[in-house]
Structure 1
Amino acid sequence: MYISIKNRLIFLLIVFTLLPFVLLRIIAYPRVQADLQEVLIRNLDGVGHKQAELVTSWVQERMKNARVIANNPLMVKCAKITKEDKDFADIVQYLEVVKDEYGYKGVLVSNDKGLVTVATAEEGIGTDISQMDYFREALQGNTFISNVFPSEIPLANELGEKELGMPTMFVSTPLKDRDGVVVGVVAIRVDEKTLNDLMLSLHLGKTGETYLVNKDGYMITESRFAAHLKEMGLVKKRCALELKLVNPETGELTSGVQQCIAGNSGFDAKGYKDYSGLTVLGVWRWLPEFNWGVIAEIDRDEGYGAAYNLNYIVSSVLLVIAFPIVIVAYIIGRKTSTPIIKLTEVTKKMASGDLSQRVDIKREDEIGELANSFNVMAKSLDEKTREVVESEKRYRELFNSIKEGIYQSEPGVEGVFTFINKSGAEILGYSSPEEVIGTKVKNIYVDPEDRRRLCEKLEKDGVWREFVSLCKRKNGESFYAERTSNMLRDEKGSPVAIYGVLRDISERKKAEQEITESEKRYRLLFDSLKEGVYQSEPEVDGTFIWINRAGAEVLGYKSPEEVIGMKVKDIYVNPDDRIKVVEKLSKEGVWKGFVSFCKRKNGERFYMERTSNMIADEKGKPVRVDGIFRDITERKKLEEELQESERHHRQLLNSLREGIYQCEPTEDGVFTWINQSGAEILGYGSPEEVIGTRVKDVYVNPDDRKELVEKLEKEGVWRDFTSYCKRKNGERFISERTCNLVRDENGKAVRIEGVFRDITER
């Protein structure tokens, strides 16, 4: 809508003239109002805190009384007492005195089975209370106060009449014998009226009140406005256990009650609807030891009355001042509007985008200042536009310098590339990003279903990290791609784009396949070995009494018959090894994995590994040695080859960009191995500088190491664990890792293995 310069000028004059008053209204007044409101909330919070302390003190006093009764030596008899016992009447009289002296409704004592053995007149002897929470808690050795609940026996109401279902509660404590064994329970039925009087003793203005609420959202003390609530039909007899504190507009618990029974302590200074539909200010404190909440509320209009009055005064003053100012502004606006119109044409040209335009008006007044301001604005906009263009150029150069591919696409299965950096285009076999933009993303997959799975995953979770799929380049060449993708949504939650990072991991996949093939070859080699099985006499000079064919062949004989009868010690290069075996077996009965240097029939020497057992008769006398052995000469050779293979694999691991490491499995464990990339990520020149240092020293928060060890102890693996770490020079970075806990055959943790990468840039 068009507004003339005259009217605009008048408006500006009015605005700037009234600005100090408006600022006073906007800044100073809200601060004063906020201070008043803060004082009220502080006072209200103090009331809630005081009431919570009074309730806690009230409960502790009754718990103390219960313990005093239970500690009376006479009470121990109550666990097994009967009406025929001579002390029964005295104990009942004692309980009656306690009840009347302390103003309780009743006192009872039960045995450890929950049967009431002695009680005051109101309580029934022989009643089974074993299912009551106050009995179970006391039987566990705790002094306990129950929730307020409807009485199971008629109790005197406000009119002195007996009524069933009156609000009541119990304080219970264990009854112990001289040895400290719990033999029963002492329970006191507390008069809830004293708790009501306590909560009603403090008034908050005309509309304020404090009350207790249980975990189900019911008021368990009387409201200050009980009579009014009866008139409204919210309660029939009393508020306790009858009035559920719900917002009448929503039918749900009031905001204060919801916060309170959730275990929170706090306040609401803005106001919420209470159980009667009034907007109130509230403070609440949850008492977890009793499962009660203390709530203090006051009508918002009464609480903020002083602040509202201040608002009326300030608003009235502003209206009185505004009228003459509008008249003066109108007169001045008419006189000064003509030269301002001259600025219109130049301003329109600037608005059309021609920022090279300048206003040529020379005046020594506000109009001249306005013209100068236009010129400064145009110059500033021109410079900022150039900076934005330059910044966009720098960011594109940065993206193109990254080795990983960075891309953005439309969110659907049929979506096309909308952006990709130069590295991404080269990975896909294109010479420039422009060739890729506009092509369908699903065309890069060997299996187009991978695109559908990716879209479904992003729709559900919003992100998919390290998704690996088989893709193809422009020329049809296949390669393995690893990517991390995210779904970008607008403010309404609708998908607008998918953006992510991709890399070619074909070489890594090839290395993994080579390692797998190597492991397969070695496994076949070990599976082809044949062990020798034998029996011999148990003495040092004992002979073979049986051997299998594989064992005979290991020893260089054609058949077992050639071996049977020859001395076992003759196969050792060092005959003392036979003495060691016999002594070890005589002492422990078994020797596993014993390695010795032996010789074949033709004198050829070889390494033998054996496991032997001493067999004894029923009297414990050795009768023979059973054992299994194998020629491990080839294994020794294979171990050397495996060491060479391991060296090759370590070189391969050192060529990877990710950090790979092994460490001790404890919280204070040290690095036992790390590849070159891992050492460089941590800021070291070589793995040797890292090995032997504590792993937890790389964490900014050492508790992250403790959390990782506990997680691995429990689950054995933790994938994509992210933590804040630091390099050797103290520089901080974000690390993402996947770790495994390696255990031996006995289930004992021997080391932690893991892969980590620096994801700070990501």
Structure 2
Amino acid sequence: MTNIRLNYSKKLLFLLLVVSLVPLVSLSTILYVDKTETESNILKNQLNSISETGSETISERILKQKSNVMSMAQIDTIVTATKILSNSDIGKDEYFKNRYELENQFSVFFNTFPELQCFIISNAKTGEILFYSDIFPPKEDLKNQRHFQEAIKGNVELGEIFLSSTPLPNEFGDFEINVPTFFISAPIQGEVGIEGILTVGINLFEINSIEQPDNFYTADSYLVNSEGYFLSKPKFIGDVLKSNLIKTRPELDLQIINPDSNQFTEIFKSSNSENTVLNLNGYTSYLGNVVVGSISPVKGTNWSYITEIEKNEAFSEITSIQILIFSIIGIVLICMIGLAFYFTSSFTAPIKNLQKATEQIIKGNLDIKTAVDSKDDIGELSRNFEFMIENLKEMTDIKEQLSIQQNLRKALDESSIVSIIDKNGKITYANDKFCKVSKYSKEELIGNRQDILRSNKIHPPSFYADLWRVISKGKIWHGEICNTAKDGTLFWNDTTVIPFLDKDGKISEYVSVRNDITEQKNLTQKLIHAERFSAIGELSSRMSHDIRNPLSIIQSEFELLKRKNILDEKQVERVTSAVSRITHQLNDVLDYLRDTPLESKRFNLSDLLSRVLTSLYVPSGVKINTSGDEIFMIGDESKMNIVMINLIFNAIQAVEEGGEIDVSLSKTNKEVIIQVKDSGTGIFIKPLEKIFDPLMTSKQKGTGLGLASVKNIITQHNGIISVKNNPTTFIIKIPQKEEHDNSSNS
């Protein structure tokens, strides 16, 4: 046993030797990453420094030229001469005198600033050239150029670079045409405003000289404009000439184009940035070399200063470190692979056997044998594992426990509406009953917040806030909740919300168990409704006695007063209207509460309409039109009398300020049709069909029971009543029997 354990210990010792190689690899990797970051940062700082320093130098030169031009434009001699030359009535002598003074002044500037090539003074309003220092007037249209327009606004602005049409000194001092030149314009400010515009031509060679970096052999710095044309000579001008990219000089001839793609180089695509942009990933330069670089904007211009270094030179030290590190790692990997084959057969085989046994136990197979025929530590571990399985068999019957849990889950799902939400309020489970009552599918519910079921019309936000406050403390909440289904209908649940805790004692989810009590709630509402109408019935019986009798006396006395002509016409109309309204409202209540069977017979509907119109008080401003032939129908004449009174009285109230009411009667082979239309303002209740609900009214004077009574009577006749707006029209359709049947009922 001692020798075997020793062999196993040697295996572990050998494993430790292998593991000791890991720190070597880690250390090599750390050194590589650190060196790479250091070299990259150094390269980044060098590129940025060269570009930013170069762009600042060019910017300062341009700013100096702008300052010089602005100073020139403020000299009294130039201001005065410009003002005089702008005068169209100037005499010849005065004209030549001021030109002579300007020529003297500008000759001083030519001697002081050799980079200045010409001076032009223009009229600020018309753009007319008042003075030019060259022999011939300028060919350029200055007035429409941006630098000229900016000068009119009071600014000093730089123009675009162009090739001169007159001989100018080149970079070698020789005079020739097509020398890169640009204009700077400044306002000539007088006492009363801008007297003119001073435009100065400046030789580009005087400001575009660039000091090439010497710390990298392949480093190249150059200046480009917004169109990608070179404004300075690159370091490798000889290579450019050999490649036939230019004819004589690169300025405004050579473009920063990738020769492979014939597109602008990657670095130039960042020329619109306001800050320095760095590219260390590598891109193809205008010479076709893979380079890294940086680009900096030149302030006050649309120029950019670019510095590039060939990528191989820039990352040469990093490449050397890469080769060294990868060599070390390769050797280590070869050693590790050889050792892995050895340990796979001698060390991991028993462990794999135990792993397979564990998988069988997870599947519920407790009859698996895990004993390993070995007297080392692995053998002892396998024997302990087998002892644990035997104890597990005696302590727990896993299948039985799972069966109990599944049965409990099934019983809960079958008996109740169940859902589960996480601690953020999102639904993670919903059973079939929950989907049925909410009318949402499981796919629509899972992942959504419980808020989609809220009924804010029933419960205020404080109700839900109180609920969350209780369950967030780990307490059980119980109560009744009204929710909104997918189709907008409401359903009530008796709900219990139970917080579930994880192993750390923190809330992980909330289980809601509900019972549908919608039908009970509806029955309760109906009972309350019935109790209210019972109270209305008791009140109506008192009204019938306490109001009708005094009202009859008032009507009788009023008739006597009318006969004696004591009251004027307006007083008679007001009293008649008030008595009619009280009588109608009292009848509304009594008619709605009476539940008497139909007494059907054949009667003349046209005569009934005439009697109703005679019985109602019609204000002088209301006109009632009737139409239709003489109509007979089968029905309850007294109840139809209530229908006609209610509809026409409502129409009169709708147009009491003045208007028309149209009442039409018609009959087909199958039904009688009654239409009452008025020219009033319409019904504002939505939806319109609610006008037939008890106690629903759009008038301050009504009881809300008249139209409910009308609908009950029409329903008793197996008919239908409908309403529409614009204009307000009530339409009644009552089915009729065949004519031979009618004779038997007459």
- Normalising by structure 2, we get a TM-score of 0.47
Larger Rg: 2
- Normalising by structure 1, we get a TM-score of 0.46
Structure with more contact order per residue of length (Cα contacts < 8 Å, sep ≥ 6): 2
Judging by fraction of residues, say which structure has more strand: 1
